[in-house]
Structure 1
Amino acid sequence: MNEQQLQDHLRKKPYLVDAIAGNSSMLVSLGRSGRLYRLWWPHIDYPQHVDEIRTGLRLGTTPGGVTWFDDPDAGWQHAANYVPHTNAYRVVSTHPEYPVTVEQTDFAVPGQPLMARGYRLTNTGQEALRAELFHYGSFHVMDNSLYMTTEFVGDQDAMLHFRHRYAFAIGSSEVCSGYQAGQGSWHGASNGYLNGNRIDMKSDGALKWNLSSLEPGQSVLIPLYIAAGHSRNDALDALRQAKGREYGQWYADMESYWAKYLANAAPCPSEDGAIAALYERSLLGMKLMADEATGTIVAAPEFDEHFSRCGGYAYSWGRDAAFVTTAFNKAGLGELSEKFYEWAITAQEPDGSWQQRHYNDGSLAPHWGLQIDEGASLLWGMWEFYLHSGEKETFLERVWPAVEKGAAFLVRFLDPATGLPLPSMDLWEEREGVHVYSSSAVYGGLTAAASFARRKGQSDLAEQWDLAASRIGSSLEERCWNESKGSYYRGLNLKVSREAYDEARRQGESGFVQQLDKGYEKHVLDFDPIVDISLLGISVPFNVVPVESPRMTRMADTIERLLTSPIVGGIKRYENDTYIGGNPWILTTLWLSHYRTLQGRYEDARKLLDFAVKHVTSSGLLPEQVDRDTGNTAWVVPLTWSHAMFLLAVHLLAERGQLQ
């Protein structure tokens, strides 16, 4: 994809979105103009099907055809936010020149392959209003622009888009007044004229509804439905069912579903309005990131499908999920954790490892190679859930074979000379080496496995795994403290480029060149001295070293001094971070909040928590990063790990009576 193609793509699908809606099997991302950017079904990670969906009006007094609500040059003004206590997103659009208000509400119907889009138009003028509502849809089913068919199905009054095993039927309980399949549908829709073409091997089509004459003060509701199926008939049947009930009934079902979900969760332990609002939004948003069918937890809704600035986010990482499930446990939603770990067993490799990241069906996603912290984190997370569940015997029996294989792999992956894990990719997926965070995660995984083994009466295995973990702890203390910097090293045996190696050697750093197969060489520096927030993992959450350890205390202060972003505050990932400009992250800031809470520095912990609360998006979601100069959202909305770290920070403070 060249630069022009990328810019064209981003006009349809920007990196940053304003909201998500869904039902844990269908997921959409939305803008504050009401534009629907992406739609995933039947899983929340893959496949994605929308190229472009837009809605607009043709008013009797409007020259030049249709005015699209999301057109930045059309003059529409938008007020948008979630409907309280739900995952429905509502946009109210007004225009200084048009006597009409459009209230658009988007929600997925629980348990149905159905996206509902309610358009309520109100005449705010002094005269009767004639208008037509237009819907333009272009579907790239399975994110593929080829082999589409678009067809108007007359007896269903529906526009059908289909390819291979996926079909999407669009219609309303109100009968449309015009249609066009393919053959320049965008041009026709923009000009307000649809030519009645019924079928084309193109991706797009358009529908319109005549609103007749709307009297002053009068409102009319046009419900639009996007129904999905694995065949034409399935999609049309789902649409027929949608039309068979009043829109208000679907809306009531949605409200009831989310009310029940929130009622089953632990209430927010704070009366602070901003904290309580973010707590609830975190619960709601995180549920959308847990796949209904499989239990998989996705890091974020995809927003960079062409890997133009990153390697993609709509995958399941064991590391992220271990933090997320621990937050689910704290929030009284342990059933989501249990379902995830049942899925995780299916993604384990025959050798006992878990690879970097996976699709929701358990298959391996595009990756950079083994990250040893992923599988280790899963073992640790399984134990955390087991304790939370009250040591549920059925869970122990289900996971034990995977735990045994997983721990055996971790032991085989240890270097006999040092007791530390062999080189793998770090948690940020940027460098190969023997990383202190990864080593700490392996410690956590092995101690968790040993605890499981004792419950199973496998004392020999428990002793073996505890001994391996103990050696990791000793080796980290002996080999990885950097006194000159007041921090643990980020890692040992860091792989670098030849140029970086030569420069480091000129500066007096130690290292070696390893001979690989076929004459290749690997250039390795003995130490990675960069201060990194993930070093807190030594204590929080993996407890290799006590929180009150003098080294940990000193390192936390070093982290805060070196990684605090100077203008807006918040904590960066590590020194000289350049990813998306080197911004502070929400989760890293909250990670330090966790440590300060456990340290007893509650005021400092609360300030770090407040940074997250202050930097929610306009719809109340937590991003990954905050712009280091402006404080605006910089990258990824929402990031599931950010919300999980927030829930954990809230509960850590509340458990110590430090959150009112």
Structure 2
Amino acid sequence: MIVGSDLARAQLVSRSVDVISTHQSPSGAYPACPTFSAYRGYAWLRDGAFIAEGMSRSGVLEGVTAFHEWCAGVVGARQARVDALVGRAADGESVSPAEMLPTRFTLDGGEGTDEWWDHQLDGYGTWLWALAEHVGRHGTEVKGARTAVRVAAKYLSWFWDQPCYDWWEEHVDQRHVSTLAAIHAGLRAAIGTGFLDEQEERAAAEAVEGIAALVAAEGIAQGGHLRKWLGSDAVDASLLACVYPFGLYPVDHPVSVATVAEVERRLAHEGGVYRYLADTFYGGGRWVLLAGFLGLNHAAAGRREEALRYLDWMGAQATATGELPEQVSDVLLAPGRFDEWLARWGSVATPLLWSHGMYLMLADALEVRA
């Protein structure tokens, strides 16, 4: 099969749906990777939300609704915990990162016993955004959504400006622009559901305004692009999501244009995309899912040929059985750091369901169908 042909693209769309569906837990959760030692048995709200969005765009209804119902159960079950955290914060008490809600869960909705870098706010915002996209697209009802949306919105409305780990489980002491954008998108989506009462809606709207003001004041570097975190002029490929799909700024806004261009200039290489220049995880390879984000931004801006180039690079990384990895290790930023991760956790995560979800999202944007 010729990589980049219409047939090859369509076949990988079909295969991606099959991989995700096959590995979805009976609980509804999407495991990050069914085989990778550090991910096996766990589901992330962030990963799962993007996986679900890819499946929803591909016309999968039942499996995606089951995922969102799993999320609603997970989040809704923590209502008392969120109320307690907010109560303490309202009384002026400090809340440590260790006390906040986790970022990943066991497939049955528990928190597991393995130590992890857990305090990440972006997943809750990303889930709210993906839930609204799915319901708006298919008009389906998601059991438990009303309670869970209120819980997540309350949590984010109170703690949006707190430092936390980024997408990559790093830098817990920083406020990351991609996290702020995910919360911004999630709270806008929560307001749009109509599930929030007047006070909750007002708090969410104030948080949305606060995020926009903070990013405008501190989140834009001298070159006009978004920053990896407030106070840093570095870029990170997760910033692509701030433009599309989260819409922190419109696609044609000068900040958006500068951000996509700077990420591509500094982090893209022959169709693949690095996370950030100082990356040493598995030697710092190019990530398949990040090529999807860059392609999506090109597609949103009307640059179809550029977007297709990233879709085809993603497809070229598939194994002989049509599975997409987390990253590829052919052109590394820090080759001397590859072996330590291989010894620690084994081979690069394959299949990574998020990679397949991003392939589906980009394929849909380009009207590539199975």
Normalising by structure 1, what TM-score?
0.48
Which stretch of structure 1 is more off in the superposition, 463-472 or 282-291?
463-472
How many angstroms apart in 2 are the aligned matches of 1:382 and 1:564?
A: 30
Asked if structure 2 preserves the Cα contact closer than 8 Å seen for 1:615 and 1:626, the reply is: yes
Partner of 1:437: 178
String of CA shifts for 1:118-147, please: whole Å, max 9, x gaps: xxxxxxxxxxxxxxxxxxxxxxxxxxxxxx
Please state whether the residue corresponding to 1:571 is helix, strand or coil.
strand
How many angstroms apart in 1 are the aligned matches of 2:233 and 2:330?
A: 24
Partner of 2:272: 570
Partner of 2:349: 636
How many angstroms apart in 2 are the aligned matches of 1:606 and 1:444?
A: 26
Displacement, 1:629?
A: 3.4
Q: 1:424 aligns with which of 143, 151, 164?
A: 164
One-letter code of the match for 1:465?
A
Please state whether the residue corresponding to 1:530 is helix, strand or coil.
coil
Change in Cα spacing, 1:288 to 1:659, as seen in structure 2 (3 Å) is closer
Asked if structure 1 preserves the Cα contact closer than 8 Å seen for 2:271 and 2:291, the reply is: no
The structure with higher relative contact order (CA 8 Å, sep 6+) is 2
Whether 2:205 is the aligned partner of 1:466: answer: yes
How many angstroms apart in 2 are the aligned matches of 1:583 and 1:637?
A: 14
Partner of 1:647: 360
String of CA shifts for 1:189-233, please: whole Å, max 9, x gaps: xxxxxxxxxxxxxxxxxxxxxxxxxxxxxxxxxxxxxxxxxxxxx
How many angstroms apart in 2 are the aligned matches of 1:659 and 1:478?
A: 42
Whether 2:267 is the aligned partner of 1:554: answer: no
Pairing 1:91-102 to 2, within 5 Å after superposition = none
Partner of 1:359: 106
Whether 2:152 is the aligned partner of 1:406: answer: yes
How many angstroms apart in 2 are the aligned matches of 1:449 and 1:600?
A: 29
Pairing 1:107-146 to 2, within 5 Å after superposition = none
Please state whether the residue corresponding to 2:135 is helix, strand or coil.
helix
Displacement, 1:346?
A: 2.5
Larger relative strand fraction = 1
Displacement, 1:462?
A: 2.9
How many angstroms apart in 2 are the aligned matches of 1:280 and 1:597?
A: 21
Displacement, 1:313?
A: 4.4
One-letter code of the match for 1:481?
I
Displacement, 1:335?
A: 1.3
Partner of 1:615: 317
Asked if structure 2 preserves the Cα contact closer than 8 Å seen for 1:622 and 1:638, the reply is: yes
Partner of 2:61: 334
Change in Cα spacing, 1:579 to 1:321, as seen in structure 2 (3 Å) is same
Please state whether the residue corresponding to 2:175 is helix, strand or coil.
strand
Q: 2:22 aligns with which of 268, 288, 296?
A: 288
Larger relative helix fraction = 2
Partner of 2:96: none
How many angstroms apart in 2 are the aligned matches of 1:468 and 1:380?
A: 15
Displacement, 1:628?
A: 3.0
How many angstroms apart in 1 are the aligned matches of 2:29 and 2:271?
A: 33
String of CA shifts for 1:387-415, please: whole Å, max 9, x gaps: 1222x4x43x631111111111111113x
One-letter code of the match for 1:407?
A
Please state whether the residue corresponding to 1:316 is helix, strand or coil.
strand
Displacement, 1:354?
A: 4.5
Asked if structure 2 preserves the Cα contact closer than 8 Å seen for 1:531 and 1:559, the reply is: yes
Asked if structure 2 preserves the Cα contact closer than 8 Å seen for 1:373 and 1:439, the reply is: yes
Change in Cα spacing, 1:659 to 1:401, as seen in structure 2 (3 Å) is closer
How many angstroms apart in 2 are the aligned matches of 1:528 and 1:314?
A: 35
Displacement, 1:591?
A: 0.6
Q: 1:347 aligns with which of 74, 91, 113?
A: 74
Displacement, 1:487?
A: 2.3
How many angstroms apart in 2 are the aligned matches of 1:322 and 1:558?
A: 26
Asked if structure 2 preserves the Cα contact closer than 8 Å seen for 1:451 and 1:462, the reply is: no
Q: 1:489 aligns with which of 202, 213, 227?
A: 227
How many angstroms apart in 2 are the aligned matches of 1:624 and 1:457?
A: 37
Pairing 1:211-250 to 2, within 5 Å after superposition = none
Q: 1:479 aligns with which of 211, 218, 225?
A: 218
For these two proteins, the number of residue pairs brought into alignment is: 330
Normalising by structure 2, what TM-score?
0.84
Whether 2:51 is the aligned partner of 1:312: answer: no
Asked if structure 2 preserves the Cα contact closer than 8 Å seen for 1:443 and 1:472, the reply is: yes
Please state whether the residue corresponding to 2:272 is helix, strand or coil.
coil
Change in Cα spacing, 1:373 to 1:612, as seen in structure 2 (3 Å) is same
How many angstroms apart in 2 are the aligned matches of 1:301 and 1:629?
A: 26
Displacement, 1:642?
A: 0.4
How many angstroms apart in 1 are the aligned matches of 2:108 and 2:361?
A: 28
Asked if structure 2 preserves the Cα contact closer than 8 Å seen for 1:291 and 1:360, the reply is: yes
Q: 1:530 aligns with which of 206, 231, 234?
A: 234
Q: 1:369 aligns with which of 118, 139, 146?
A: 118
Pairing 1:129-168 to 2, within 5 Å after superposition = none
Please state whether the residue corresponding to 1:491 is helix, strand or coil.
coil
Q: 2:9 aligns with which of 231, 253, 275?
A: 275
Measured on the aligned residues, the alpha-carbon RMSD in Å equals 2.2
Asked if structure 1 preserves the Cα contact closer than 8 Å seen for 2:228 and 2:239, the reply is: yes
Displacement, 1:303?
A: 2.7
Displacement, 1:457?
A: 7.8
How many angstroms apart in 1 are the aligned matches of 2:276 and 2:154?
A: 32
Partner of 1:383: 132
Asked if structure 1 preserves the Cα contact closer than 8 Å seen for 2:165 and 2:171, the reply is: yes
Q: 1:323 aligns with which of 30, 50, 60?
A: 50
One-letter code of the match for 2:361?
L
Asked if structure 2 preserves the Cα contact closer than 8 Å seen for 1:295 and 1:343, the reply is: yes
Pairing 1:8-19 to 2, within 5 Å after superposition = none
Partner of 1:59: none
Rg larger for: 1
How many angstroms apart in 1 are the aligned matches of 2:369 and 2:21?
A: 25
How many angstroms apart in 1 are the aligned matches of 2:179 and 2:24?
A: 25
Asked if structure 2 preserves the Cα contact closer than 8 Å seen for 1:325 and 1:334, the reply is: no
String of CA shifts for 1:593-620, please: whole Å, max 9, x gaps: 0000001111111111110111211111
Please state whether the residue corresponding to 1:651 is helix, strand or coil.
helix
String of CA shifts for 1:23-78, please: whole Å, max 9, x gaps: xxxxxxxxxxxxxxxxxxxxxxxxxxxxxxxxxxxxxxxxxxxxxxxxxxxxxxxx
Q: Percent identity?
A: 29
How many angstroms apart in 1 are the aligned matches of 2:125 and 2:196?
A: 22
Please state whether the residue corresponding to 1:623 is helix, strand or coil.
coil
One-letter code of the match for 1:287?
S
String of CA shifts for 1:302-361, please: whole Å, max 9, x gaps: 332xxxxxx434410000011011111111112111111211123222334752101111
Change in Cα spacing, 1:659 to 1:644, as seen in structure 2 (3 Å) is closer
Asked if structure 1 preserves the Cα contact closer than 8 Å seen for 2:10 and 2:369, the reply is: no
